[in-house]
């Protein structure tokens, strides 16, 4: 697989992003949904912020919908009840449960004409606002359907990790369409057009008991209500995607089928991107799947950072044979790479 990483990588780093509030510090500018608006590339970027640092304590920012403010809860690092070893979360030592996140994310726009140099907007585009977003909004994907850009995103709160839908026509005004999937679910990508009489999406439930971290398919008459849930793709033992898989970019229509770029991770939490192909007329039929990743962490900015060894794409757009893929690196910054569509299709078993 020929991967042409951009020489400008990483394209956007935390220091390129002004914080949403003087008391906050941007620690991540990564996982971005991608839209083409005229000849502009618009990224809907996940921006993660922490409360100002304290060596002895971990600050947990939480949006309070009643007061419409962000409050910071401080945990002493010496507190024996909690495990702080994962930089992303505070866990209860007795049950291992994630109880808080150490950062809060919002969505921010970044725009570019050449696809490599981006101007990041000053203010958040979609920031936590509902009780389901109290711990943040994360990992947006953007699908353009009938002139409307639909954004599926992860809504995180003490109610769980759920999936929100928002829409915009102009990337200025955005409106929410509610939670389209209940906890625990994430990695939702909409197919960019109806197939037959229904809309389709990919989702990734995280069940408590039976079941793995699989990709599922669902269908809808109206984009807001979803049913006919069907299993689509599982992790593969002894493979780079042995522990979890999840949808990445919005599916790409090719003459061989819908091309799905997905992420997978193994037991070491090493994230890479793979591809699979599903039937154009019946997306529940998996036609082919790549044995090896199409992109895996190799560059320095992919191997080092906040959470090492992660490449995680939420969006790409296609120009002729070129897939312009944007992807988060090390849960910290944003990078881009060009891949050949034909190369990807040829690599599918």
Enumerate binding residues for a copy of itself (CB under 8 A): 97-99, 131-132, 135, 156-162, 177-185, 203, 205-211, 214, 216, 218-222, 224-231
Name the minimum Å distance from CB 162 to a copy of itself.
Answer: 7
Least spacing, CB of residue 11 vs a copy of itself, in Å: 30
Cβ nearer to a copy of itself, comparing 74 with 231: 231
Select 132 or 301, whichever has its Cβ closest to a copy of itself: 132
Is residue 198 within 8 Å of residue 221, measured between CB atoms?
yes
Measured from the CB of residue 70, what is the shortest distance to a copy of itself in angstroms? 18
**Side-chain-facing half-sphere of 106: CA atoms under 13 Å:** 27
Structure letter (DSSP) for residue 85: -
Minimum CB distance to a copy of itself smaller for 211 or for 281: 211
Q: Is the dihedral of CA 74, 77, 82, 84 positive or negative?
A: positive
Query: Among residues 101 and 109, whose Cβ is nearest to a copy of itself?
Result: 101
Residue 336: which of 110, 26, 7, 113 has the closest Cα? 7
Cα 178 to Cα 129, 154, 205, 287, 289: the distances in Å are 12, 12, 18, 33, 33
Beta partners for residue 90, in sequence order: 100
In the complex, minimum distance from the CB of residue 283 to a copy of itself, in angstroms, rounded to a whole number: 15
Please state the closest distance from residue 305 (CB atom) to a copy of itself, in A. 23
Backbone φ, ψ for residue 182 (5° rounding): -80, 170
Compare residues 233 and 339 and give the one whose CB is closer to a copy of itself. Answer: 233
User: Shortest Cβ distance from residue 115 to a copy of itself (Å)?
Assistant: 34
Cβ neighbourhood burial of 219 (10 Å; 0-12, 13-18, 19+): buried
Smallest distance, a copy of itself to C-beta of residue 7, A? 38
Nearest C-alpha neighbor of 246 from the set 225, 216, 218: 216
Question: How far apart are CB 188 and a copy of itself at their closest, in Å?
Answer: 11
Burial zone of 56 (CB within 10 Å; 0-12 exposed, 13-18 middle, 19+ buried): exposed
Task: Please identify, using beta-carbon distances, which residue of 146 and 209 lies nearer to a copy of itself.
Answer: 209
Nearer to a copy of itself, 212 or 319 (CB): 212
Among the listed residues 287, 199, 293, the one whose alpha carbon sits nearest the alpha carbon of residue 248:
293
CB 84 within 8 A of CB 54: no
Tell the smallest beta-carbon distance from residue 126 to a copy of itself (Å). Answer: 18
Closer Cβ to a copy of itself, 124 or 178, answer by number? 178
Q: Which is nearer to a copy of itself, 211 or 298 (CB)?
A: 211
On the 0-12 / 13-18 / 19+ scale of CB atoms within 10 A, 25 is middle
Kindly list the distances between the CA atom of residue 16 and the CA atoms of 45, 106, 233, 272, 283, in Å, as whole numbers in the listed order: 12, 15, 37, 25, 39
């Amino acid at each position: 697989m020929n991967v042409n990483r951009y020489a400008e990588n990483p394209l956007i780093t935390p220091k390129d992003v002004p914080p949403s509030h003087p008391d906050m510090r941007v620690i991540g500018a990564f996982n971005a949904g991608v839209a083409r608006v005229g000849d502009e590339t618009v990224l809907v970027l996940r921006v993660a912020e922490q409360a100002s640092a304290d060596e002895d304590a971990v600050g947990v920012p939480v949006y309070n919908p009643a007061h419409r403010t962000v409050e910071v809860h401080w945990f002493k690092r010496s507190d024996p009840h909690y495990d702080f070893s994962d930089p992303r979360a505070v866990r209860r030592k007795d049950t291992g449960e994630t109880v808080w996140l150490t950062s809060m994310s919002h969505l921010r726009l970044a725009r570019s004409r050449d696809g490599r140099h981006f101007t990041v907007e000053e203010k958040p585009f979609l920031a936590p606002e509902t009780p389901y977003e109290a711990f943040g909004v994360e990992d947006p994907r953007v699908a353009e359907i009938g002139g409307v850009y639909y954004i599926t995103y992860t809504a995180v709160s003490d109610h769980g990790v759920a999936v929100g839908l928002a829409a915009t026509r102009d990337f200025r005004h955005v409106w929410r369409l509610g939670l389209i999937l209940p906890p625990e679910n994430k990695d939702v990508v909409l197919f960019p057009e109806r197939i037959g009489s229904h809309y389709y999406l990919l989702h990734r439930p995280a069940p408590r008991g039976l079941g793995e971290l699989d990709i599922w398919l669902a269908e809808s008459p109206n984009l807001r209500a979803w049913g006919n849930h069907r299993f689509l793709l599982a992790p593969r033992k002894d493979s780079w995607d042995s522990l979890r898989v999840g949808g990445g970019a919005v599916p790409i229509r090719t003459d061989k089928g819908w091309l799905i770029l997905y992420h997978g991770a193994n037991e070491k939490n090493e994230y890479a991107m793979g591809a699979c192909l599903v039937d154009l007329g019946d997306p529940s039929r998996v036609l082919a799947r790549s044995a090896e990743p199409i992109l895996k962490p190799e560059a320095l900015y992919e191997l080092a950072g906040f959470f090492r060894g992660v490449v995680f794409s939420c969006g790409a757009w296609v120009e002729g044979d070129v897939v312009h893929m944007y992807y988060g690196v090390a849960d910290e910054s944003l990078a881009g790479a060009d891949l050949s569509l034909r190369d990807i299709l040829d690599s599918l078993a």
